[in-house]
């Protein structure tokens, strides 16, 4: 089915190579064999910011256009993909034309002949450490799973979150390059913010210019944009859209800003101040920068998340400063592991060791003189054989004060 009209047309998106497809499929099947899983299935909603589509995107490159993809991925044999509408999709060169329909009906028809007594891995059945990290109860549709289980009583359904999460954990050179492009898009968005944000500017205009800059450069939608604004040291809580306020002198603005290149998600976190703020605002920013570098400089293959948690606390040796680790995988969506302060069940998570070509968003939280909204930075980072490398290029030490 590969070699469709998409390869010969301008109707496309940036695509990964067939060699990359073969590498991923081989790795997924290797992990399936280790877990005695006969096939993988995926169906259902794309989720918040398309995060739930990560496994489907990883195996097909499909899922960027709000299409709900149904996937049957066997350990041996042909991969089957259904969409509505069926047919060709931009950057669908790995699969070619998709089949019509979707959901449990088509899965049941496809599973009955060969997998009636199989072990079936379900994408998003429940949360995991490496995949579906933000939804502990999973996202696979309950009604669909019940229908499959009732009609395949001799099959065994198991959670595939960590199976595919582990496959996605180590990136290829092609993936790292896509993530580098995505991070550069986020930096274009930040540049638009820095050009727009001033005293008296309508907050939605700032976001509009961020989005325009990224889309104009070829970025993929949707873009997650976390937004914290308000008086320095006492900003309002995080939103994903700006309120209808004008920027004021003495304001603090912090964004979690994604860039997406063919679905791959780079991210940066950046705080700026507007107008007149306390003299110690610069010191608060520098504490955030120090904590960021303490974590990044500790990153190398074999280092555990628990050790990085301690690295983030190193800044706490300075009077009036506390540091907390926040970092999570970056890739196609719901990538793990997800390390947060005071995390339940952190013991297992803290034993996870880094591997070469892991990609993380590193964004430690710093509390300066009791203030959580006084300075924050973060960037997308790739683990190398000898350490770690930022995928962003902006001067992360820069303290941005806008008029």
What homologous superfamily does CATH list for 5-169? Creatinase/prolidase N-terminal domain (3.40.350.10)
**pLDDT at residue 343 in the model:** 72
Residue 262: partners with Cβ closer than 8 Å, 6 or more residues away = 13, 14, 15, 16, 61, 64, 91, 178, 220
Q: What is the CATH number of domain 173-402?
A: 3.90.230.10
**pLDDT at residue 344 in the model:** 61
**pLDDT at residue 116 in the model:** 97
Q: Give SS3 for 371.
A: strand
**pLDDT at residue 5 in the model:** 39
Q: What count of other Cβ atoms lies within 10 Å of the Cβ of residue 196?
A: 19
Please state, in angstroms and rounded to a whole number, the distance separating the CA atoms of residues 83 and 100. Answer: 6
**pLDDT at residue 266 in the model:** 98
**pLDDT at residue 68 in the model:** 86
77, two tokens: 């044999």
Please state, in angstroms and rounded to a whole number, the distance separating the CA atoms of residues 58 and 25. Answer: 9
Domain extent listing, the chain: 5-169, 173-402
Q: What count of other Cβ atoms lies within 10 Å of the Cβ of residue 77?
A: 10
Instruction: Report strand pairing: 70-74 vs 39-42.
Output: antiparallel
Please state, in angstroms and rounded to a whole number, the distance separating the CA atoms of residues 8 and 297. Answer: 45
For the chain, list residues with pLDDT below 50: 1-7
**pLDDT at residue 345 in the model:** 54
Determine the distance from the C-alpha atom of residue 123 to the mean position of all C-alpha atoms in its chain, rounded to a whole number: 16
**pLDDT at residue 44 in the model:** 81
Q: Give SS3 for 211.
A: helix
Instruction: Determine the length of the chain.
Output: 403
Q: 19 burial class (0-12, 13-18, 19+ CB within 10 angstroms)?
A: exposed
Residues pairing with 380 in the sheet = 361
Q: Nearest to residue 122, comparing CAs of 95, 91, 154, 156?
A: 156
CA 244, 281, 392, 195 torsion: positive or negative?
A: positive
Is cis: bond before 337, omega within 30 of 0? Answer: yes
């Amino acid at each position: 089915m590969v070699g469709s009209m998409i390869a010969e047309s301008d109707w496309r998106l940036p695509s990964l190579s067939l060699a990359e497809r073969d590498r991923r499929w081989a790795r997924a099947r290797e992990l399936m064999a280790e877990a005695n899983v006969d096939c993988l299935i995926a169906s259902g909603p794309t989720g918040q910011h398309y995060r739930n589509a990560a496994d489907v995107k990883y195996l097909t490159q499909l899922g960027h256009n709000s299409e709900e993809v149904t996937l049957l991925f066997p350990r041996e044999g042909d991969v089957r993909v259904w969409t509505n509408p069926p047919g060709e999709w931009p950057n669908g060169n790995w699969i070619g034309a998709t089949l019509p329909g979707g959901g449990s009906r088509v899965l049941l028809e496809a599973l009955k002949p060969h997998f009636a007594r199989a072990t079936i891995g379900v994408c998003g059945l429940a949360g995991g450490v490496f995949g579906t990290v933000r939804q502990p109860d999973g996202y696979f549709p309950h009604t669909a799973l019940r229908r499959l289980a009732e009609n395949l009583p001799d099959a065994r359904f198991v959670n595939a979150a960590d199976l595919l999460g582990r496959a996605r954990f180590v990136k290829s050179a092609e993936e790292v390059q896509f993530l580098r492009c995505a991070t550069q898009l986020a930096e274009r968005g930040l540049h638009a913010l820095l050009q727009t944000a001033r005293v008296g500017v309508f907050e939605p205009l700032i976001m509009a210019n961020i989005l325009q800059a990224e889309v104009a450069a070829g970025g993929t939608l949707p873009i997650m944009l976390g937004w914290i604004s308000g008086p320095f040291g006492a900003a309002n809580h995080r939103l994903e859209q700006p309120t209808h306020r004008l920027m004021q002198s003495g304001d603090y603005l912090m964004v979690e800003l994604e860039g997406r290149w063919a679905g791959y998600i780079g991210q940066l976190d950046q705080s700026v101040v507007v107008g007149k703020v306390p003299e110690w605002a610069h010191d608060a920013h520098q504490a955030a920068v120090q904590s960021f570098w303490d974590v990044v400089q500790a990153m190398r293959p074999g280092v555990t998340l628990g050790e990085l948690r301690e690295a983030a606390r190193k800044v706490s040796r300075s009077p009036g400063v506390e540091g907390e680790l926040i970092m999570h995988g970056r890739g196609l969506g719901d990538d793990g592991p997800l390390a947060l302060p005071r995390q339940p069940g952190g013991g297992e998570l803290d034993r996870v060791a880094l591997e070469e070509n892991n990609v993380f968003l590193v964004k430690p939280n710093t509390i300066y003189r009791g203030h959580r909204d006084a300075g924050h930075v973060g960037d997308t980072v790739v683990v190398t054989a000898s350490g770690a490398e930022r995928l962003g290029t902006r001067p992360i030490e820069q303290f941005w004060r806008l008029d």
